[in-house]
Structure 1
Amino acid sequence: MRAVTYSAFGDAAEVLNLKDLPPIPPGPGEVTVELAFSGVNPSDIKARSGTRPGVTEPPFPLIIPHSDGSGVITAVGDGVPTSRIGQRVWVWNGQWKRAFGTAASHITLPSDQAVDLPDAVSLETGAILGIPGLTACHAVFSGGLSKNQTILIHGGAGTVGYLAVQLAKWAGARVITTASPRNFDRVHAAGADVVLDYASPDLTELILDANGGQAIHRIVDVEFGSNIETNATVVAENGRINAYGSAQNMAPVFPFGAMMFKAVTLETILIYLLPANLRAAAVETLHRALVKGALTCPVQNVFTLEDCAAAHDVVQGGNRVGAVLISTK
């Protein structure tokens, strides 16, 4: 099989190499997927560059990056029905605690990590569902989202935030989101009712004004540390904050008193560790939204395996308007 690999941390152009590796037959309970697309996420960049907290050296001698992907099952191991051969699937956790991910022509992994892709959903979209799709879905619905409830989504122009806006509107919520002014029209088109400049010095007041002076019961946050004081002010009593990122400030001062005396529930989301029952619920919800046409997953760039380093550079640069994929053919 053809695969992009690395054995040391560093810049993408310096450490990523395209290799031919022996195929890996599926063991008991496993399937082999002939991949069509591999999704590139910020977490893949951190893993390759060695910037994950507490990780000082690569966990395996040879690594194939990327956790997300899509393709067709071509072989199954003992205990897996042969009827799975030929199924279109999307992959989650391809390279989580495993050496070989989806930046390759094939991947062999446990059968439940290859999810049947609905006929109406493209393989390109399938390669976006693992990290961005599941994160957005769990962040929006974890703890319950009521119809007509107002939800604040920080970072509505990001890949996860953009999907979260669509999912929240599909569920009947009123959506207030933050973004850069250059993305206002795009985020409005995704369904946001109100879009505010995330850098506004009076963001707290703008959020409350946008909700008729009322506090917010549900907040989805991509930059928890940067927004912590704003959130502590605007969140309602018995409100909930579902945070899936804090890259700009990984060690914020936590206003415990303000949060406690509102009885706020804080959930930190690491989609890799989502329990099986919650993952199954998120998968089912994503599929329903996709089949009903309520969710679109834009793609900005599709690179070849040979250009994997360039794909990493695009994701690392930020300010994207869609997912970055690798065509693995």
Structure 2
Amino acid sequence: MKAIIYTQTGAPDVLQPTERPVPEPAAGEVRVQVKVSGVNPTDWKARAGGPGRPLAYPEIVPNQDGAGIVDAVGEGVSPDRVGERVWLWEAAWQRADGTAQEYVTLPARQAVALPDDASFDLGASLGIPALTAHRCLTVGDNGPQRLAPGTLAGRVVLVAGGAGAVGNAAIQLARWAGARVVTTVSGPEKAKLAQAAGADLVVNYRTGDPAAEIHEFAPAGVDIVVEVAPNANAALNHDVTAPAATIAVYATDEPADVSLPAFRLMYKNIGYRFVLVYTVPEAAKRDAVEDVAAAVAAGALQAGEAAGLPLHRFPLDRTADAHAAVESGAVGKVLIDVA
């Protein structure tokens, strides 16, 4: 089978095509014929590596997310799953085998049923972005712990960077759960994408008075912030949050450390929570997978430009270019056509 591997960290050109044997699923695993592989920022960062970070395995296939069809099962897995359309999550987390290959084996629970009316493109766009968004929306002390229609009714959610993959998923999930959603973007083109995703209010943070616009939209304040740039957005967040709000941070900007006005946050009982989807507690991860699957089944999660998430496609042999596109900040979702 065709696969993309890297045997050393570095620039995208360390990604090389190769031929590998088709793997056999072990007990508790399924084998999936991968149709589409999705690329996330953590995929290129893992490939790029860093000082003192040797490869965990001699040979690694990149990419956490994907979608395809179960074509074989291991011992203990129902044979009824053969032929099932699925979306995949965390295929390469603490494993050597991601989704940039024609077949991948992985634990059965990491291959989630994908409805017939949901495209493989959507399936490959879920995984890391949607699970991260779910955790950000449910990590606060005031809940909810699960997402479903009505669980965020009466809440106001602020999504920083609503044109990004996590931002897009957060907008769609929050709206599905009944929240009113405001998002910040850097320009008119990204504003169109955030509006397509379903945001009630889109604020260009480079023009006008973002805090005033948000206060007018939510006079009592924002209840949940889904945050991608905690330093750049700190002043705005501290101004517009309601008492006992949660600021859920899932990425970092410069500087990497965050300095907080302790007394101001204490006075409002604001909670900062930091989210890395890979190390989310097991029960919360299971809840997130189930809720995201329910949102997909309900048609509440979509991909493509009409849903505010433009798709950028590459063939398998151009996986290096796909990684470079994500690394350079491509707006939308970068996908690799595997099959």
What is the TM-score with the length of structure 2 in the denominator?
0.89
Supply the distance in 2 between the matched residues of 1:198 and 1:274 (Cα, whole angstroms).
30
Supply the distance in 2 between the matched residues of 1:70 and 1:325 (Cα, whole angstroms).
11
Correspondent of 1:275 among 241, 260, 281: 281
Supply the distance in 1 between the matched residues of 2:52 and 2:113 (Cα, whole angstroms).
33
CA drift at 1:130: 0.7
1:17 paired with 2:27, answer no
Partner of 1:105: 102
Correspondent of 2:156 among 117, 130, 150: 150
Supply the distance in 1 between the matched residues of 2:187 and 2:123 (Cα, whole angstroms).
30
Q: Which amino acid aligns with 1:74?
A: D
Count of matched residue positions in the alignment of Structure 1 and Structure 2: 324
CA drift at 1:256: 2.7
Partner of 1:89: 86
Partner of 1:318: 329
Q: Which amino acid aligns with 1:93?
A: E
Secondary structure, in 3 states, of the residue corresponding to 1:224?
coil
1:294 paired with 2:300, answer yes
CA drift at 1:119: 2.3
Partner of 2:205: 198
CA drift at 1:160: 1.1
1:215 paired with 2:221, answer yes
Which deviates more from structure 2 when the two are superposed, residues 220-229 or residues 90-99?
Answer: 220-229
Partner of 2:192: 185
Correspondent of 1:309 among 307, 320, 335: 320
Secondary structure, in 3 states, of the residue corresponding to 1:313?
helix
- Taking every aligned residue pair, what percent have the same amino acid on both sides? 39
Native 8 Å contact 1:90 1:130 kept in 2: yes
What is the TM-score with the length of structure 1 in the denominator?
0.92
Native 8 Å contact 1:118 1:287 kept in 2: no
CA drift at 1:284: 2.7
Partner of 2:179: 173
CA drift at 1:200: 4.4
Matches within 5 A, 1:214-233: 214-233=220-239
Secondary structure, in 3 states, of the residue corresponding to 1:34?
strand
Which deviates more from structure 2 when the two are superposed, residues 55-64 or residues 105-114?
Answer: 55-64
CA drift at 1:270: 1.1
Matches within 5 A, 1:37-48: 37-48=36-47
- 1:216-268 Cα distance to aligned partner (Å, 9 max, x none): 22111111232223222322221111121113432121333322222222221
Partner of 2:262: 256
Native 8 Å contact 1:226 1:246 kept in 2: no
Partner of 2:27: 28
Native 8 Å contact 1:229 1:255 kept in 2: no
Matches within 5 A, 1:54-65: 56-65=53-62
1:204/1:249 Cα in 2 relative to 1: closer, same or farther (>3 Å)? farther
Q: Which amino acid aligns with 1:39?
A: G
Secondary structure, in 3 states, of the residue corresponding to 1:120?
coil
Secondary structure, in 3 states, of the residue corresponding to 1:282?
helix
Q: Which amino acid aligns with 1:63?
A: I
Q: Which amino acid aligns with 1:161?
A: G
1:55/1:287 Cα in 2 relative to 1: closer, same or farther (>3 Å)? farther
Native 8 Å contact 1:163 1:297 kept in 2: no
Partner of 1:79: 76
- The runs of 5 or more residues in structure 2 that have no matched partner are 145-150, 305-309
Native 8 Å contact 2:156 2:221 kept in 1: no
- The runs of 5 or more residues in structure 1 that have no matched partner are none
Supply the distance in 2 between the matched residues of 1:188 and 1:122 (Cα, whole angstroms).
22
Supply the distance in 1 between the matched residues of 2:79 and 2:297 (Cα, whole angstroms).
26
1:189/1:74 Cα in 2 relative to 1: closer, same or farther (>3 Å)? closer
Secondary structure, in 3 states, of the residue corresponding to 2:66?
strand
Supply the distance in 1 between the matched residues of 2:320 and 2:184 (Cα, whole angstroms).
31
